[in-house]
């Protein structure tokens, strides 16, 4: 304790990531604004930045995923060092640590033995935060002290998550994502070809690739959305920082969230449902467990089964031609998200864990 407050020391390794935004930055910003009477926060860039005096005053260390240390003995040594003066360690984990073989980081993970080291970090923590009950089931054999804390934005502290929708004569369908989603976007390839061939829809819609970077992944996405560079009903939203990218939701009317049904994706969060809901957009998404936890088909979204490759086209056409349906799905999804992903309730779960850990010391 410092000045009668719980001292939370957050260790940032990579601040400019979606994981750090949702798992560290926004929850901590809420703590600073709403719980300043009970919490003192300090951010550390790296383990070497933590000097002897700082370690003495920290009650709980919050770490995103792992310590970024390459040797098992060194990992254990640093965990012991951080605990030297009684601090507890909370690891915040947002996805599965074993990658599919076609993931762009697979070889790096394999060469660096990262699945083993990430699992070791999980096992050594005093407590683990994770995103879903599905991921919780993978973590519990390594560490039984797990709390599910969903990904949800803090609109009052992050202007980009306050909706200011723009208007367009065309219905704009947006996909938002990083460079690791080629197999997921490929699920839409057949439907995007059908959409291009449907001349009755020409000029009524735009397919929008958000987060555009001039690299091979985004060129692959673009190839899918344009049906091999034939469909002119296409636009880009250039990449923005993690603090700004949500502004792009104001430039679309409907969201896509394709996700291949593999083991790695099974443990991803329902974040795309949450973002679409917060920004009041209807969503067409893959029928996978974490999305089905949020989306009820034809009520607050549209679900596409793994073998329904043509459904992306059918549902896109349906929403192009039915504004009332777009509005109804968007309204219902927003109500779902505001109820089930209320940031106050979600962030309070973090507070409860911090207080229990400190009381146990």
Domain identity same for 122 and 168? no
Question: How many separate domains does the chain show?
Answer: 2
Give the C-alpha separation, 311 to 256, whole Å.
12
Domain identity same for 355 and 280? no
Strands 171-176 and 205-212: parallel
Q: Is residue 1 part of a domain?
A: no
pLDDT digits (tens, 9 = 90+) for 232-260: 999 999 999 999 999 999 999 999 999 99
Q: Is residue 63 part of a domain?
A: yes
- Which of the four pLDDT bands, split at 50, 70 and 90, describes residue 66? confident
Domain identity same for 284 and 180? yes
Phi, psi of 251 (to 5 degrees): -100, 5
Give the C-alpha separation, 334 to 207, whole Å.
22
Would you say 173 and 249 are in contact if contact means Cβ atoms under 8 Å apart? Answer: no
pLDDT digits (tens, 9 = 90+) for 284-316: 999 999 999 999 999 999 999 999 999 999 999
Domain identity same for 175 and 321? yes
Average confidence (pLDDT) over 46-73? 84
Domain identity same for 84 and 164? no
CA distance to 52, 128, 139, 230, 277, per residue, from 60 (Å): 15, 12, 20, 55, 33
Domain identity same for 81 and 166? no
* Residues contacting residue 165 through CB under 8 Å, at least 6 positions apart: 250, 253, 279, 280
Domain identity same for 171 and 137? no
Q: Is residue 170 part of a domain?
A: yes
Would you say 254 and 171 are in contact if contact means Cβ atoms under 8 Å apart? Answer: yes
Look up the pTM and report it. 0.94
- Which of the four pLDDT bands, split at 50, 70 and 90, describes residue 174? very high
Q: Is the pLDDT of residue 231 over 90?
A: yes
Q: Is the pLDDT of residue 173 over 90?
A: yes
Q: Is residue 54 part of a domain?
A: yes
Domain identity same for 49 and 115? yes
CA angle centred on 200, ends 233 and 322, rounded to 5°: 85
pLDDT digits (tens, 9 = 90+) for 332-355: 999 999 999 999 999 999 999 999
Which residue matches tokens 């700082």?
54
Domain span including residue 100? 6-152+342-360
What is the percent of the chain with per-residue pLDDT over 70, rounded to a whole number? 98
Decide: residue 358, CB within 10 A, 0-12 exposed, 13-18 middle, 19+ buried. Answer: middle
- Which of the four pLDDT bands, split at 50, 70 and 90, describes residue 14? low
pLDDT digits (tens, 9 = 90+) for 198-219: 999 999 999 999 999 999 999 9
Q: Is the pLDDT of residue 61 over 70?
A: yes
Give the C-alpha separation, 311 to 302, whole Å.
9
Q: Which of 351, 356, 353, 246 is nearest to 27 (CA)?
A: 351
Q: Is the pLDDT of residue 48 over 70?
A: no
Q: Is residue 113 part of a domain?
A: yes
Q: Is the pLDDT of residue 279 over 80?
A: yes
CATH number for 64:
3.40.50.2000
Would you say 327 and 10 are in contact if contact means Cβ atoms under 8 Å apart? Answer: no
Strands 39-44 and 254-257: unpaired
Give the Cβ contact number of residue 74 at 10 Å. 12
pLDDT digits (tens, 9 = 90+) for 217-227: 999 999 999 99
Domain identity same for 106 and 122? yes
CA distance to 13, 14, 68, 111, per residue, from 108 (Å): 18, 17, 14, 5
Domain identity same for 200 and 317? yes
Domain identity same for 174 and 52? no
* Residue with the larger pLDDT of the pair 108 and 90: 90
Domain identity same for 191 and 328? yes
Cα Dmax for the chain:
69
Q: Given this model, what pLDDT does residue 128 score?
A: 98
Give the C-alpha separation, 359 to 361, whole Å.
6
Q: Chain-wide mean pLDDT for the chain? A: 94
């Amino acid at each position: 304790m410092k000045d009668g407050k719980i001292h939370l020391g957050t260790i940032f390794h990579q601040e400019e990531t979606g994981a750090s935004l949702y798992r560290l930055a926004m929850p901590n910003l809420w703590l600073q604004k709403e719980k300043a009477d009970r919490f003192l926060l300090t951010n550390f860039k790296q383990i070497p930045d933590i000097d002897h005096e700082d370690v003495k005053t920290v009650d709980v260390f919050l770490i995103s995923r792992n310590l970024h240390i390459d040797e098992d003995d060194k990992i254990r040594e640093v965990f012991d060092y951080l605990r030297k003066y009684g601090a507890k360690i909370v690891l915040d984990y947002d996805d599965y640590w074993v990658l599919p073989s076609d993931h762009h980081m697979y070889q790096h993970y394999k060469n660096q033995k990262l699945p083993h080291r990430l699992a070791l970090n999980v096992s050594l923590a005093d407590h683990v935060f994770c995103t879903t009950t599905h991921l919780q089931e993978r973590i519990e054999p390594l560490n039984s002290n797990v709390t599910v804390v969903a990904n949800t934005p803090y609109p009052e502290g992050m202007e980009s998550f306050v909706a200011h929708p723009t208007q367009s004569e065309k219905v704009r369908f947006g996909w938002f994502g990083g460079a690791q989603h080629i197999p997921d976007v490929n699920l839409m390839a057949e439907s995007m070809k059908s959409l291009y061939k449907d001349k009755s829809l020409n000029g009524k819609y735009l397919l929008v690739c958000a987060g555009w970077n001039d690299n091979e992944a985004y060129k692959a996405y673009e190839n899918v959305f344009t049906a091999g560079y034939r469909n002119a009903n296409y636009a880009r939203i250039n990449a923005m920082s993690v603090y700004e990218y949500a502004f792009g939701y104001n430039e679309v009317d409907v969201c896509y969230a394709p996700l291949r049904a593999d083991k790695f994706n099974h443990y991803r969060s329902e974040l795309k449902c949450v973002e679409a809901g917060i920004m009041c957009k209807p969503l067409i998404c893959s029928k996978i467990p974490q999305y089905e936890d949020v989306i009820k088909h034809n009520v607050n979204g549209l679900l596409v089964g793994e073998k329904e490759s043509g459904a992306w086209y059918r549902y896109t056409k349906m929403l192009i031609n039915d504004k009332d349906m777009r509005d109804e799905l968007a309204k219902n999804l927003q109500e779902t998200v505001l109820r089930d992903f209320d940031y106050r309730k979600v962030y309070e779960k973090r507070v409860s864990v911090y207080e229990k850990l400190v009381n146990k010391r």
